Amino acid sequence: RKEVEQDPGPFNVPEGATVAFNCTYSNSASQSFFWYRQDCRKEPKLLMSVYSSGNEDGRFTAQLNRASQYISLLIRDSKLSDSATYLCGGGFKTIFGAGTRLFVKA
């Protein structure tokens, strides 16, 4: 089992939709988790850190479930500009999942 796994998608959603991504991790000792966004031919950039208590930044909500060893990202009111690949990552080695592609259509 890979240390970090996520559904590669792609997710095709209309503008205004709510979309959720999940990511599972295998190392229960992992402490720090993140969601990164990567645009085409660009480097990944931090979107949000993920905390057990959950954290929200505008239309984005991230959650960590330690008991089930998964992290989630919820995007509300999707915009065309949200189209990108979303990478979850974490752990001591900062391992990343394969990324989930999101396409938001008009």
Partner 1 sequence: DTAVSQTPKYLVTQMGNDKSIKCEQNLGHDTMYWYKQDSKKFLKIMFSYNNKELIINETVPNRFSPKSPDKAHLNLHINSLELGDSAVYFCASRDGGNTIYFGEGSWLTVV
Contacting residues toward partner 1, per CB under 8 A: 31-32, 34, 36, 38, 42-46, 49, 85, 87, 89, 93-96, 98-99
Of residues 29 and 106, the one with the C-beta less far from partner 1: 29
Element (H, E) at 92: none
Of residues 60 and 76, the one with the C-beta less far from partner 1: 60
Contacts of 42 (CB under 8 A, 6+ apart): none
Shortest approach of partner 1 to residue 16 CB, angstroms? 27
Q: Are strands 100-105 and 11-14 parallel, antiparallel or unpaired?
A: parallel
Q: Which residues of 16-30 are buried (b: 16+ CB within 10 A; e: fewer)?
A: eeebebbbbbeeeeb
Residue in the block written with tokens 């900062």: 94
